[in-house]
Amino acid sequence: MRGATINELADHPLVKGLPPGAVERLSASASEVEFGVGEAILAEGGAAGVLYLLRSGKVALSAHVPGKGHLLVQTLGAGEVLGLSWLFPPFQWKFDAHAIEAVQAFAFDGARLRAKLDEDPVLGYALLKRITPVVLERLQQTRIRLLDLYGEAPAAAQVGTATTATAATAATAAGATAATAAGAGGPAGATAARAAHPSAPPRHQIR
């Protein structure tokens, strides 16, 4: 990889600021690649062996949802990371990806990159700290898109809401009954008021 290209790689957010010499070591596992509009980059379920650092263009990241077809999860552009499954067994892509604009990227061989990170734990830890937020953000984007797709709260939340509403209705009814009885005065009214509000002291205790 040429010196000018290594300098461009060093400016990518994923590797910028790594320990001295780290980018040069990583560049030995990298190549420059291009994808035309509409060209597939990742195939869900396929062997995951590459890390892409996007230099230009745009990529659509999608996932297959049973009964719903393909769901657009996220659109990625320059400075972002594509392909994370090379790091985790069983090394299979979890998403589809295709270029929606002409794409230029740095491509890292996943197996060689894992070997380098194992050989250099300091570099491995530094890079892992940068990759982990990307993984979490991608999971969050997937969650949001699934909620948008199905458009309803989980069943447990619906049950909880219904239970709260039922309890509130019962409490209101009990309060109304107590108020009616209390308005009539006498022992029955006082008894009804205490039944609706057990914590309230009897009338004759109030001074």
Boundaries of every domain in the chain: 3-150, 166-205
Tokens standing for 193?
A: 């008021």
Instruction: Tell me phi and psi for residue 63, to 5 degrees.
Output: -135, 150
Domain 3-150, what fold? Answer: Jelly Rolls (2.60.120)
For residues 36-41, average pLDDT: 98
pLDDT of residue 2: 66
pLDDT band at 81; cut points 50, 70, 90: very high
The answer to whether the pTM exceeds 0.85 is: no
pLDDT of residue 185: 44
Strand order in the sheet with 81-82: 30-35, 103-109, 50-56, 81-82
8 Å CB contact between 27 and 9: yes
Q: Which of 17-21, 69-73, 145-149, 170-174 has the lowest mean pLDDT?
A: 170-174
